[in-house]
Every structure is written in structure tokens, then in C-alpha cells.
Structure 1
Amino acid sequence: MSATAVLIGFAAMLAMLLASFPVAVIMVTTGVVGGLLVFGWPLVLSMGPVAWGVQNENVLTAIPLFILLGELLLRSGLADKMYTALAVWFVKLPGGLLHTNIGASALFAATSGSSVATAATIGTVSLPNLERRGYKPSRSLGSLAAGGTLGILIPPSVNLLIYGSLAETSIGQLFIAGIIPGLLLTFTFMAFIALQSIVDGGASDGEADALLPLRERFALMRHLIPPLVIFLVVMGSIYLGIATPTESAALAVVVALVFIVFEGRLSWRLLDTCFRQSAKTTGMILLIITAAFMLNVTLALGGAAQAMTQWVASFGFSATGLLMILIVFYLILGMFMDVLSMQVLTIPIALPVVTAAGIDPIWFGIFVVLMCELGMITPPVGMNLYVVQGVRTDGGPFMDVVYGAIPYAVIMILFTILLIFFPEIVLWLPRNMS
């Protein structure tokens, strides 16, 4: 299989995607047709065992568990209390409650693993307060959309699980690698909010809020215990070798249920809602992943990775130059594709190329997730933009969200470039904790 054939196939997939074909259908069709053209029926018949093997993959069992964990925290009200506990500490900083949007998003991300769930949860809790206090809509909405993207970078992350499965890379190493970049990006967002508020003379701070007495603020901090304990259970059990990522996800769900019982919020109705929503989301994700593995059979046996690697190498790009090109590529792709589609369509082709250029696959996993984050807040298909717009109550224009998110998109690009020149920001922790 030549590089030209691979590019033609990729272009055909993009064309079908723009024609609104389901992603799973696109990948299965491309894999089957490509397999028939290159190898004939024997390859196509071998895809059945591949699909069966994916559905029995132990690592992928963690996906529904982490999705269920996020649903439990969202619908039990624990996320609401977490936001309140953070707000009383951030309210007097330049930018006020906008810092709480970012901080609460980061903390919820450390338990949910989902960008959309993070944006929807924190947006639902915070927007009424922000509107009541007179915060500028574009800044409120932009901070929520950007804060939500932290859900797929700060571990545990469903998208890192998917990358690890597709790239056959250690999930534990990927989770550990996401900690420092996730925290740094969180602080960068908050620094931008503070600087923006100072430059504007506090114009974005909204109405001044009275600072609660220190004793009351410390009392509210008990609501931060559940997400912190869940994060420590997940990361601690993986790092200490007590549990696999799947087992750590199951432990986290059990811990979350204990906290929900303690809060008196456990009910059959809550469990029914959480299980149903988790099943719907999981079905969609695993269907796409299965289709991606079926496509990968054709790509692998057809030598697509080797052909693309040789083709890219013929241009003589350095590793830095290649990554700069990939930033532009993912930026454009993210304007028209959802995050999951970007991952499953590009990783099988891009990963062999970048590893041949000497780029660490763990580092590239964080790079891909950052590019997916960027796609979440770039119009016209930026999912977080629509999620945040959907939970606002004032019925304002969609462009408020877009204008508010643009500065954060620029910050993400600059942050990614920083990681390119200083890769140890990503790799230091997994190298020293392995």
C-alpha cells in the first residue's frame, strides 16, 4: 500500500464524515473496502475475531466505569458542593468566580475523565451565580468551555485510555504523564483570568462578594474530600501496583457510592439514571473503537504505517518541524471533527511516523490529547462551545462563547509549543515513578 493510497483513503473518510455518515460506518466501510482491494475476502473474514477481541479487551472495561463515576458525582450533587467550597476561596482574586470555574473543572476532571461532563456540570452549577453577579458573558462562558477541556488531560482520562488502547501504550504511564501538564495548564488559565481582570481594572469581576469568615471557609472544605480521595484511589492504586486501570476505576466507583450514601443521596432513581446514561455513552465509544481496530487491520497488513513514514521522511522534517505541522493539521481537523473521531482516525497513521522521528509515544499521547482539547473549543464543531451554550439561561448569542474561548485556544497552542521544546514537563514524572 503506497502513501498515495493511504492519503486517498483518508480523504475519502473525511468526505464521508462531512457528508454526515456515522464515524463507525466510515471506518468499517474503509477497512472492508480497502481489505477487499488489497487482500481479498480472507482479510475481511478475519475482522470478526478482531471485533470480538476488542469487546473482550480488559483495559477498555475502564471506560464505562469512569463514565459511571462522572455520572454519579454529577447527579448526586457532590459536584455542586465542590464548586461552592472552592468559590469561597477564589472570590476575592482578580477575576473572582472565573477562577472557580477553572479550579472546579480541574478538580472534577480528576474524577470524571470527560470533557463534556466537566463543562456541563460546572456550567450548570456556576452560570446562574455568574449571571446574577454581572460577569461578562463571553468571559464566563469562555472560562467554562476551556475549563471543561481539562477533563481529558488531567487523569483519569477516557481519551488517554483510548489512546493507550490504540497505541498499545501503558495507561498508567499516560495517566501519570498528564498530571504536571494538566496542573500547569490549569494555573496558566487562572493566570490569564487574573491578568485580564487587572488590565481591565476589574471589569470582569462582577459584583463584589463578601468573604466568609475563615472558620466557615474551612468548614466548607469538607466537600473537597470526595474528589480528592477518588483521585488518590485511582492514581495511588495504579502507581503502587495494587490495581490495574480497570480495577482502579471500579474502586473509584465504590468509593463514590460510599460518599453518596454518607450524603444520603443514594436512590434507585439516581442509579437508574446514571447506569442508563453511562450505557448510552459507552455504547457509542466502544462501537467507534471497534470500527477503528477493524480499519487498523487493513492499515497494518497493507503496510500503511511504513509507507506514510517513508513518505514523511522524504521531506526531511525535523521532529520539531513535524510536530509544528501536526499542530496546524489538528487545529484544522478539530474545526470539523469531534474528538473521538480525530483520535481513532489519526493515531494509527500518525503514531508510527512520529515514533520513527524519535518522539516518545507517551509524550505524543499528551500532545494528541492537547490537540483534542483544542478541537473542543474551536468552531464550528467545538463540542464544549455547544455544551456551555446549552446550559446558559439568558438565551444570549452563541458568539459569546466563541469570543470567550478564543484566548484559551491560543494559550493551548502556546502551551503545546512549550511542551515541544521542553518535553521533560511531560516525561519527568513517568520516568521517575516507573
Structure 2
Amino acid sequence: MGALTIGTILLVVMFATLSVGAWIGFSLAITGWVGMAFFTNSSPGLNLATAVWQSVASWELAALPLFVWMGEILFRTNLANQMFAGLAPWLRRMPGRLLHVNVLACGIFGSVSGSSAATAVTIGKMTVPELKRRGYPDSISLGSLAGSGTLGILIPPSIIMVVYAVAAEVSIIQIFLAGFLPGLLVMVLFSGYIVVWALLHPDQVPADDLGEMSFKQKLIASKELIPCMLLIVMVIWVIVAGYATATEAAAFGVVGSLALAWWGNSLTWEHFQESLLAATRLSAMIMFILAGAAYLTIAMGFTGIPRALAEFVGWLNPSKFQLIAVLTIMYIILGTALDGVSMIVLTTTIVLPMIQKVGIDPIWFGIFIVLLVEIAEVTPPVGFVLFVLQSMSGRDSWFVAYASLPFFLMLVVAIVIISVFPDIVTVLPRMFVEATQAGGPR
């Protein structure tokens, strides 16, 4: 039986187990067991134990629960209120005014939370009622928040980036560095759309009610941004300067977030317990999925599926852009049914041989996947950010999905831009590697 036929059978098994409501980790492990038991001569049980141990006994993966915990701690502080107070005075003259707070606040908070859900919830709890009170339409306020909430996984440090780096066996630091410029690009695209919308609908933009503020008063208000910016700078600086690995930097981030919570008088024993339990639940879920994916990866290796797929792609001889287009469509379809972590662990092993065949940089491809996961976050019926904003606003998920459609399209535009100009993604990692080889930060 050919490897591609076996792959089709395993795909049917996986979707069959998912369709009956099995946990994703179980579904992956069951599919791997079927592949090992029926299509190879290797021991399914022995390989299961090996895969589970190797997938979780990873120093690099230790960064994941720490970054999750950092985000959970900050979620329980008054950081979002501080950011709104610091940003609002500077945006009053821009078309769209306070709508840009969604973009900037999500970008800033996303850089310290690493989670789209945490970013959307934290910023949304503060901006949605405030924008509604000031008279901004729900469609644009929720749409901009849905799109901007996804920045939590694009601007480093990011949980999804850690998962991809572990699954693809690439440098976490290089993936983090690769996300900065695309993150800024997406923020510019989002704010650009808000400006266009505001110019086309001036009657729907409420009048400015902040009153006159001098430059000095704006600077005084901006002091509220200092705690968050210090934490961002600290986490990234210790990595780039070579003082800490990504895992050690995550530990610094946890300590810094605890310090911010203490400074803001929100570090209580109850909040500490809640943040620790929430981080444990999410981290355990992700690691369970990674363990099941590792077992399925071993099964695929024994059956020769990745090699056969790479050979098939070689036979088709697609160009780089043709493969990118096909993969974009594939991931958007997957995003309608799977969460971001599942998308990455289910496909990375299969897709990496394909992209290597056409000469695509795995670091660039990591950011490409993260952008597609961002799209999945606002794609019904499983878009997690849609569910978060639905419960927060009282609007149904389809209203939020329709409102976020322009920002969905901006993410597609971002994919096109980084495909045409890949240096946007690769320039910072390349500079880091060159500096390391020259005896710089390690």
C-alpha cells in the first residue's frame, strides 16, 4: 500500500475521531496508533512512551507555561486601564480617534501576554464599554478589537511561536525576532483601515470629548505606559543581548509581571492562585496536544508519508508562490475547524518537507503560519476571539465575524506583502545570526 494511500486512511481516522468529540490530543494519538499498529512492524506502545517523553521533556518548551503564566498575571492587573489613559490623548487628532486604542493597546499588551485570548479579553473589557459609552458603532469597535486581539500571537513573545519553534526544531529567539516587523506591519494596516473607514463615515465618529490638552499634559498621561514598556524591553533585551535564553527570559517576564501586579496593588493571594491554575490548565492542554502530535509524527515517519508528500510536491514542481497560495487556502480551511496550536502540530511535520523542497526559509514560514493562525482566530465557526467578544459584548459570533471581515482581509494583505518582500520577516533573525557568528550575543 502506498504512503499517500496510508496518509489518506489516517486522515479519515483523525477526522472521524474529531467528529465524535474526542479531545485533539487523543485524536492525534489514536491516529498515530492506527498507523503504527496496522501499517508498520514497529511497537505502538513503545513508540508512544518515547514520543510522549521526548515531546514534553524539552528545555525550550519550558518557556511556554512561563509565558502563559505571565499573561495570566497581567490579565488580572490594571494594565489595560493604564494603557488606555496613556494612549488616548495622542490619538484624538487621527481619523477614527479612540478606535486606534484597540490596535495600539492590543499591540502593546500582546507583546507581554503571548495569547490572543488574553489580549482580546483584557483590552476588550476596558475599551468596549468605553467606546460604546462614547458612541462608537459596535461594528467597527468590535471588528477592530477582534482583528487587533490576534496581535497577541504575532508580536513576541508568543505562545504559538514557541509551539512552532519546538515542532519545527528552529530557534525560538529567531522566531521571536522575525515577528517584530510583521507585527508592526499588521498594526499599520489595521490603523490604515480605521483611517479610511473614518474618512468615509465621518458622521459615525463621535466628537472628541477629551478637552484641550497641552503637550506636557499628554506626556504626563503617557507615564501610565511606562510599566508595560519596561516589561517589554526587559524581556526582549535579555534575549537579544545574550543574557538569557528564551526560557530564562520567560522566567524574567513572570517576575516582572508579578512586580507590576504588586506595584499596582492587584497582587493578591487569590489572583496569584487564579493565574497559576489558569496557566496550568492551558499549558497542560497544549502539551497534551504536542504529545499526541509527536506520536503521530513518529507514525508518519515509519510509514514514509512526509517523504512521499515531498516527492509528490517535487513531481508537481510548484513555484514558491504557488505553494504559498495553496497552503494559505489549506490553513484558512483548517482554521474553520481547529485552533492555532492544533493547526501547527497537525501540519508542521507534513508541510516542512514541502517548503524546504521549494527553498522557503523555515523561520519565514513560521511567521506565515502565525499570520494564518491569526486569520483562524477570527474565522467562524471556531474562531476563538469571536467567542471571547461574543460573550463580552452580547452580540452573536456571526455579527462579530462580519465586523472583523475587513481586518481579516488586512491579514491576507499582510501575507501577500511578506511573500513579495520576505526580508520583512528574515532581516532581524539574519542580523542576529550574523552578530552571533561574529562573536556577539549568544
Give your verdict on TM over 0.5.
yes
Q: Is the 8 A contact 2:89 2:210 kept in 1?
A: no
Q: CA deviation digits over 1:192-231, x for unaligned, max 9? A: 101111022x234234322444333212222212222222
Matches within 5 A, 1:52-201: 52-200=53-201
Q: CA deviation digits over 1:359-400, x for unaligned, max 9? A: 0000000001111000011111111111111111xx344433
1:60 shift after superposition: 1.0
Aligned twin of 1:426: 425
> 3-state DSSP class of the match of 1:419?
helix
Aligned twin of 1:203: 203
Q: CA deviation digits over 1:259-291, x for unaligned, max 9? A: 222223222112111111111111111111111
Identity of aligned residues (%): 36
1:41 shift after superposition: 5.2
Q: Is the 8 A contact 1:76 1:270 kept in 2?
A: no
Counterpart code for 1:248: A
Matches within 5 A, 1:5-404: 5-40=6-41, 42-200=43-201, 202-211=202-211, 212-392=213-393, 395-404=394-403
Aligned twin of 1:416: 415
Q: Is the 8 A contact 2:56 2:291 kept in 1?
A: yes
Rounded to whole Å, the distance in 2 between the matches of 1:426 and 1:124 is: 32
> 3-state DSSP class of the match of 1:203?
helix
Q: Is the 8 A contact 2:76 2:266 kept in 1?
A: no
Q: Is the 8 A contact 1:95 1:204 kept in 2?
A: no
Counterpart code for 2:205: D
1:46 shift after superposition: 2.5
> 3-state DSSP class of the match of 2:244?
coil
Counterpart code for 1:426: V
Counterpart code for 2:422: P
Rounded to whole Å, the distance in 2 between the matches of 1:397 and 1:58 is: 41
Q: Is the 8 A contact 1:379 1:402 kept in 2?
A: yes
1:296 shift after superposition: 0.9
> 3-state DSSP class of the match of 2:203?
coil
Rounded to whole Å, the distance in 1 between the matches of 2:426 and 2:15 is: 33
Q: Is the 8 A contact 2:59 2:247 kept in 1?
A: yes
Q: Is the 8 A contact 1:36 1:44 kept in 2?
A: no
1:308 shift after superposition: 0.6
Q: CA deviation digits over 1:143-168, x for unaligned, max 9? A: 11100111111100000000000000
Rounded to whole Å, the distance in 1 between the matches of 2:412 and 2:109 is: 23
Aligned twin of 1:405: 404
Which sits farther off after the overlay, 383-392 or 165-174?
383-392
Which sits farther off after the overlay, 246-255 or 6-15?
6-15
Rounded to whole Å, the distance in 2 between the matches of 1:258 and 1:16 is: 45
Rounded to whole Å, the distance in 2 between the matches of 1:381 and 1:261 is: 36
Rounded to whole Å, the distance in 1 between the matches of 2:120 and 2:408 is: 15
Rounded to whole Å, the distance in 1 between the matches of 2:84 and 2:210 is: 17
Which sits farther off after the overlay, 6-15 or 22-31?
6-15
Rounded to whole Å, the distance in 1 between the matches of 2:257 and 2:405 is: 35
Rounded to whole Å, the distance in 2 between the matches of 1:52 and 1:316 is: 37
Which sits farther off after the overlay, 99-108 or 307-316?
307-316
Rounded to whole Å, the distance in 2 between the matches of 1:330 and 1:315 is: 20
Q: Is the 8 A contact 2:111 2:155 kept in 1?
A: yes
Rounded to whole Å, the distance in 2 between the matches of 1:196 and 1:18 is: 40
Q: Is the 8 A contact 2:185 2:414 kept in 1?
A: no
Q: CA RMSD in A?
A: 1.5
1:304 shift after superposition: 1.6
TM-score, structure 1 normalization: 0.96
1:56 shift after superposition: 1.8
Q: Is the 8 A contact 1:35 1:44 kept in 2?
A: no
Q: Is the 8 A contact 2:85 2:222 kept in 1?
A: no
Q: Is the 8 A contact 1:105 1:147 kept in 2?
A: yes
Q: Is the 8 A contact 1:136 1:206 kept in 2?
A: no
Q: Is the 8 A contact 1:97 1:205 kept in 2?
A: no
Q: CA deviation digits over 1:125-148, x for unaligned, max 9? A: 111111111111111111111001
Counterpart code for 2:88: A
Rounded to whole Å, the distance in 2 between the matches of 1:206 and 1:389 is: 24
> 3-state DSSP class of the match of 1:283?
helix
Which sits farther off after the overlay, 106-115 or 302-311?
302-311
Rounded to whole Å, the distance in 1 between the matches of 2:33 and 2:398 is: 41
| Change beyond 3 A, Cα 1:299–1:397 | closer
| Change beyond 3 A, Cα 1:7–1:421 | farther
Rounded to whole Å, the distance in 2 between the matches of 1:368 and 1:396 is: 29
Moved over 4 A (4+): none
Rounded to whole Å, the distance in 2 between the matches of 1:396 and 1:39 is: 50
Counterpart code for 1:348: T
Which sits farther off after the overlay, 400-409 or 139-148?
400-409
Q: CA deviation digits over 1:221-252, x for unaligned, max 9? A: 22212222222222211112111111000011
Rounded to whole Å, the distance in 1 between the matches of 2:266 and 2:218 is: 23
